[in-house]
Structures are given as C-alpha cells and as structure tokens.
A and B are shown apart, each in its own frame.
Chain A
Amino acid sequence: MSTFWRNHRHWIAPTLFIMPGALLFGVVIILASAETIWVSFFDWDGVGEKQWVGLANYVQLLDDPQFHVSLKNNLIWLAMFMLAPPLGLALALLLNQPVRGMRVVKSLFFVPLVLASVTVGVVFTWVYDPTFGLLSLIFGYFGATAPALLSDEHLVTFAVVVAALWPQVAFCLVLFLAGLNNLSEDLIGAGRVDGARGWPMLIHVILPQLREVSFIALAVTVIGALRSFDMVAVMTSGGPFGSSTVLAYQMYEQSIFSYRFGYGAAIATVLFVIMAAFIAWYLRTLLKPEREGI
C-alpha cells in the first residue's frame, strides 16, 4: 500500500483535490451548456414535447429584427465598457496618494462595489426619472428640461450602460489599487535615478508592471459587458419596445415570457460562441508568456 501510495501520490492527491470542482463544473457548466446547444435545435415550450426543427431557430434569428437590435446593443455595451479599465486606472492613480483622509475617500469610491447591481439599477432609474429624478432637478436648475433617457429608444442603452459602468469602474479601481501596492520600489527608484518623472515614469515604469492587472481588468470588463442582464432587467425590462434588449435579456424573455425555450437556447448559443471566442483569445494570451517561461 505504502509503495503504491509513494509511486502514485504525485497524481492521486491532485486528482482528488480537483475532483469536486471538476465534477461541479462538469455538471453545472459543461453539461448545461451542451444541453442548451442540444435544445436549440428543437421547438420546445419548456413543458411539453420537444419537436426537432434542425437549424430553423437559427434561420429565424437571422430574420429577427429584435436579434439585430440586441446584437447592436451588446456591441454598444462592449465599446462603452472599455472605458472602465482606463477610468479605474486614472482614479487609482489619483487615490493612491499618501494624504490624510484618503482612506475615507477610497471607501466612498468602493461603495458601488458593495451594492447589489439591482440596487444600482433602481437608484439610477430614479436618477433618470423625468419628473422627480436628480437629473431633471439638475436640468431644471439651469432652466432646461431633462430628456427622458429611459424612454428614448436611441439613448436608453447608453443610459443603462452608464449606470452599469459605475460599479465596473469601481471594480477596476480596486484591481489597480492592489496592483499599485505591489509595484517594485527598486524599479521606481532606478527610474527616478535615471530622471524619469511624470508621464515617462507612468508609461515606462509603472504601467509595464501593471500589465497583468490590466489584463485581468480587461477580461472581467469584457465578460461583464457580454453577460449584462440584471441592469437591463431592472431598469428597462428591455424597453421601450425592445430597444435596450441585449442577447442575454432576449434569451430570458423568449424562454420565460414567450415560452420558446428552443429559440431562447439558440440565442444563448450565439452568445456562448461570442464569449468562447473571446475566452479562447484570452487564454492564449495568458498562457503564452507562461509557456515561454517569462
């Protein structure tokens, strides 16, 4: 027994430790994803008999104006969310000063991170309210009328993204603050000796050291933008008339309210493919330096 253990423990122990996680991941993520893709080839109301329709759901998606709106909105989300890492970095640099009372200021910036995203959504819905909202008060102060952001089909997605950006920027801020704490004093000192300060210092000494953190911030932001759902559900329910719907919300709406699980699964599959492409790129870039031993 003991020789068996000695000969094989190099793989038995890690396998045992990985098992629970792998099992859970397999059932909850892999199996569920596979089933979703399978369901997308059926016409199914979620309760009754499934009926095989092949690629009909996907063909219908191509003709569905709502699908195009959702896809476009997802792109808007993605583009605007790209603002979160630079904004987070800027704030982190600003807050990373040894000034008295900075801790209080920092914690104020953390607040949106503590709030549930549903809360953030509700708060911003009030801010945007055209009759009593903060925005209308501000506009009223200057004698103007605030636009009803959440009922304007062209502005609504931007308004929702701004609300979602608030916690996202705070999240990037936390990541960068942690990164700034781990900067190598030696490198900074060496840079200073060589006469670097201000911009050159930031670009050539600080930022390269934040490379990994930036990478994580970027990845989290992209995934956050693609899976956006809760804010849309809380603030607009995809409205007015579907103009702020994103893929994740359309999937939910089709499956739950219209009882079209097959169609919803097809939307989920499209979203999955988009995410998978991004994750593949991410893993490749992440693993490359590791493999090269850097």
Chain B
Amino acid sequence: MASNDIIKLVTRAPASRRQLLIGAGTALAGMTLGAPAIAQSKELTIISNIGNASQRDVLQRIASAYEKESGIKVAINNMDHEAHKTAIRSYLVVGAPDICFWFSGNRMKAFVKRELFDDISDLFERENYKSVLGPAAGAVTVDGKQYGLPLGGLLWGLFYRKDVFAEKGWTPPKTMEELLSLGEQAKSAGMIPVSMGTKEMWPAAGWFDHMNLRINGLDKHMALMDGKISYTDPAMLPVFDKWAELINAGLFSPNGTSFGWEQAAAALAQKKAAMMDLAGFIKYGFPEDQQDQIGFAPFPEIVQGMARYEDFALNSIHVPKNAKNKENARDFLAFFYKPDNLSAFLETESAVPPRNDCPPSKEPLVNAAVESLKTVEGSAQYYDRDTDPDMAQEGLKGFQEFMAKPDRRDQILERLETTRKRIFKA
C-alpha cells in the first residue's frame, strides 16, 4: 500500500452526513438480505489465525450476535498463526471456509492472481466502504477490484519504557547519532540498547525496511520489493554500511538468533533492554499492569530531509473463491465490519482501525500510532509482505545472517541478487 495520503486513513473527519448514509445503507442491506438468510439457515465457517485469547473472544462474541440476528450458525475454526500461513494454500484449493483471515497487499495478490479469493467489489459498493476506508482500500484492491476488507493496521517503530527513560533522563533518538549515543549510555547502564530476537528471522527485515526507507525512500524501496532494483545496486551499500556500523557498535542483543521476538520483548519489559523495533502487539510481552509504560517513537532519521515513510502493515479478511455460502459470507462481513464491532475487535491488538468512522480508541498505543501516522507521507507494509514470498524467504535469511556476520555483506547481497534474478526473471 504505497499510498501517499495515509493521513486520511486516520484523521477521523467528522462526516455526519456520510455516516447517516452508511447507516441507512447498512439498514437497507440488512432488510433485503436478512429475509432469505433466515430461510436458508445455513452454517457459515470461518478459519481464524488469531493468536491472542481476548481477540478470539471478541470474534466469538460478534459471531454469536450475528447468529442471533440472522439465524445462521457460525462455526469458527481457530488455527495457530504460523501454521495457518502454510495451511491456507491447501484449504483455499480444497475445503475452503466461507471466510478466512490473511494479509493485504502482495500476499493477498498472490492468491488473487491464482483466483482463490472472491471479488467482493459488490460488497464495497453496497456498503459504500470506499468513502470510509480512504487509502486503506488500496491495500485490498487489485486492478480496480476489491478482494478483501482491511483490518487493523500495525505501525512499526521503536518502543521503550517510559519509566526507564524518565529515570535515566533519556529521550527517544531522532537521528542516527542520537541512537548511537543512546546506545552507549544504555550499554554503560548495563542494558542492551536495542532488543532484537531473530530466531524467526523477520524482525531483522523490519530493521532493513526502516533503514532503506530512511536512506533510499519509498519509491526505491518499493522498486526493490518488486524486483526492479538489484540487491547489488550502489544505492543498497549505504544501507548496509550504516547497519553494519550499528551492529559493530554493539547496539543489538548478543546471540540474537537464538531467541524470538517474545523473549526480546520480555527483555524490554524486564528493563534489560532500552528499546525494541516492533508494532503495537509488543504489549503482549508486558505484564498487564505495566502496559501503560510502553512508549512509541518513530525510527530515527538518517538522510536529512527524507520524507517520513513507515512500515504500516494491514491484516485483512477474505471470502475464498471456493466458499460455499458467498452471500452469507458477505452478509457476515458487513455485520463484522460495523464500526462498533470492528473497533472492539481491533482494540485487543492495539491496531489502528482502517475505517475513519470508528469510535476513538481508549488504547494509548493505538492513539500514539494514530497520532504518529499524521506525519507519515507514505507507507510500505513489511518486507515479507511487500515482496515475492520466495524472495522474502531468502531475504529474511540474508538479513539474519547479516546481523550475525556483517562482514559477509557482499556474499549475502550476491546471493540475494541471484535469487532476485531467478524469481523476477530480470
């Protein structure tokens, strides 16, 4: 979603007339669709990849409310988040549910290209989603048609503990120099400057995204994601040089490859680390009574004057092409996507709601992200969501290796370039 006016996505412009229209539209849709739905009394199956219990509960609650209203039985099958990434490829082909969760952007496009997701432009039209979604609609649009509904947005950046920063008199770094000097201070305080666990590889790619967006900007970054720029391009060198400088300065957790992000987040929560690069879901690493101590700061500037581009990843929900009850699925999505239901669902993961008519959040991390997004001039999603999955696999591995062995830069880039040529037939 390389849209340059993400601000619209989050500024909750008062649109009373529009809201009235939407309300009327939903009511009409409910009236026309409600009757046949009851007559059919079918079962609707949903496959969910939601990991956290509270969000599952909210989904279950919404489903129960829908059951009561429509008389359609809703069955939710919960899957492990990581296992779901592999399972979806087979169940979309054989045994598709009526609704499933996935990721918007390039990852969605992979299935759209293979005609595995249903075109739900009619639902967009009927519910007039385009007017409330703004740029977020772009993340689920391929060739002018919509193939899913965008869910919560995750804004990536640096997180820290407010109490630790207040106690030490630190401020979140705004430039590379400040980041390096903060790193020195953290180290002399016996803390890890930036907590990073790369066992699952992707956290290293997030750091690469930040660096590349800050140094080369959004257009070049997206060109790299689309396989149009070589990994051995001279523009890539400063990114890795700067990154190597940070690694050699001891900024990141030692032995980072032996643990995952949860342990890295725990180090931040336990005041063993000063900062961490993640999105709002970092709060799962914190005990509930300390979650209000989490502070958010954008990734520091590197090239002066470069516009602020960020990773802003949007999850999404879809109707598979092979679903049995496509009409009921649309009906449920319309219900699920009502502002109240949607915001209740997103609140639990501190995600930014894609609709601009959702009630304001009570969650400080969401509001911090919303506030921060106002100065973002464009966004990518995340390395493994923006580029080809095959490329992403090699890339993630390469970045993980680079963080452990920065002196192997040339070999790694060479390898990535071979992979890029193979995949994008460049």
Q: Is B114 an interface residue (CB 8 A)?
A: yes
Select the residue from A151, A237, A256 with max chain B CB neighbours within 10 A. Answer: A151
Encode contact with A along B251-266: 1 for CB under 8 Å, 0 otherwise: 0001111110000000
Q: Is the CB of B86 within 8 A of A150?
A: no
Q: Is A142 an interface residue (CB 8 A)?
A: no
Q: Is B415 an interface residue (CB 8 A)?
A: yes
CA distance A130 to B197 in the complex (A): 13
Encode contact with B along A40-70: 1 for CB under 8 Å, 0 otherwise: 0000001110000000000000000100000
Per the 8 Å Cβ criterion, residues 264-282 of A in contact with B are none
Q: Is the CB of A239 within 8 A of B400?
A: yes
Q: Which of A48, A151, A259 makes the CB contact (< 8 A) with B390?
A: A259
Q: What's the nearest-Cβ distance from chain B to residue A162, in Å?
A: 16
Q: Is the CB of B258 within 8 A of A129?
A: yes
Q: Is the CB of A130 within 8 A of B255?
A: yes
Encode contact with B along A151-162: 1 for CB under 8 Å, 0 otherwise: 101000000000
Q: Is B398 an interface residue (CB 8 A)?
A: yes
Q: What's the nearest-Cβ distance from chain B to residue A214, in Å?
A: 37
Q: Is the CB of A239 within 8 A of B116?
A: no
Q: Is A242 an interface residue (CB 8 A)?
A: yes
Per the 8 Å Cβ criterion, residues 242-287 of A in contact with B are 242, 253, 256-260
Q: Is A189 an interface residue (CB 8 A)?
A: no
Q: Is B89 an interface residue (CB 8 A)?
A: yes
Q: Is B134 an interface residue (CB 8 A)?
A: no
Q: Is the CB of A256 within 8 A of B86?
A: yes
- Known A148-B258, A239-B257, A257-B86; further 8 A-B contacts with Cβ < 8 A: A148-B254, A151-B256, A151-B258, A237-B201, A239-B397, A240-B198, A253-B393, A259-B89
Q: Is the CB of B390 within 8 A of A260?
A: yes
Q: What's the nearest-Cβ distance from chain B to residue A222, in Å?
A: 29
Per the 8 Å Cβ criterion, residues 83-105 of B in contact with A are 86, 89, 92-93
Q: Is the CB of B390 within 8 A of A241?
A: no
Encode contact with A along B364-403: 1 for CB under 8 Å, 0 otherwise: 0000000000000000000000000110011001101100
CA distance A46 to B415 in the complex (A): 24
Q: Is the CB of A151 within 8 A of B404?
A: yes
Size of chain B's interface in residues, with CB distance under 8 A? 26
Q: Is the CB of A65 within 8 A of B398?
A: no
Using CB atoms and an 8 Å cutoff, list the residues of chain B in contact with chain A: 86, 89, 92-93, 114, 116, 198-201, 254-259, 389-390, 393-394, 397-398, 400-401, 404, 415
The main secondary structure of chain A at its interface with chain B is loop
CA distance A35 to B254 in the complex (A): 45
Chain B residue at minimal CB-CB distance from A241:
B401
Using CB atoms and an 8 Å cutoff, list the residues of chain A in contact with chain B: 46-48, 65, 128-130, 148, 150-151, 153, 236-237, 239-242, 253, 256-260
Instruction: Given A47-B89, A151-B256, check contact A239 B389 (CB 8 Å).
Output: no
CA distance A256 to B83 in the complex (A): 11
Chain A residue at minimal CB-CB distance from B415:
A65
| CB-defined contacts of B86 to chain A, threshold 8 Å | 256-257
CA distance A73 to B36 in the complex (A): 61
Q: Is the CB of A47 within 8 A of B400?
A: no
Q: Is the CB of A257 within 8 A of B401?
A: no
CA distance A128 to B199 in the complex (A): 14
| CB-defined contacts of B404 to chain A, threshold 8 Å | 151, 153, 240-241
- Can you give 10 A-B contacts (C-beta < 8 A)? A130-B255, A237-B201, A239-B201, A239-B400, A240-B257, A240-B401, A241-B397, A253-B393, A258-B394, A259-B389
Q: What's the nearest-Cβ distance from chain B to residue A156, in Å?
A: 9
Select the residue from B92, B198, B258, B398 with max chain A CB neighbours within 10 A. Answer: B258
Q: What's the nearest-Cβ distance from chain B to residue A59, in Å?
A: 12
Instruction: Given A48-B114, A239-B199, check contact A258 B393 (CB 8 Å).
Output: yes
Q: Is the CB of A242 within 8 A of B200?
A: no
Q: What's the nearest-Cβ distance from chain A to residue B409, in Å?
A: 13
Q: Is the CB of B255 within 8 A of A148?
A: yes
